[in-house]
Amino acid sequence: MHESALTDIIVSSDILMSAERADAPSLVIHIGRPVPAPEIDWQCSHQITGLAGEEEILTAYGVDAFQSLCLCIRLVNTRVLAIERRLGIRFPGL
């Protein structure tokens, strides 16, 4: 995993912490299209925005496009859980 460019976005999701509060924090998740990696098999990048310090683009790698996408989704989940723990909040449905 390292920082990379986000390719064509294939999935985006805007997740609110609370639908009842207009000022509730939200996360926007973008996942890019898996692409061949320069020196290894495949890569899939994602970006989580909406909270300070969470703007970077990170990349997961796999032996094929499907594995890199699956690993990218797992990485997104791990990052969201870390954000929840750090801020003491919960994003429902994740």
Distance between CA 76 and CA 88 in Å, rounded? 18
Could you tell me which of 23, 83, 34 has the C-alpha nearest to residue 62?
A: 34
Distance between CA 59 and CA 61 in Å, rounded? 7
What the block records as the tokens of 31 is 């996942």
Residue 94, pLDDT above cutoff 80 = no
Q: For residue 1, name the pLDDT band (cuts at 50, 70, 90).
A: very low
Asked whether the whole model's pTM tops 0.75, one would answer yes
Distance between CA 20 and CA 29 in Å, rounded? 21
How far is C-alpha 90 from the chain's CA centre? Answer: 16
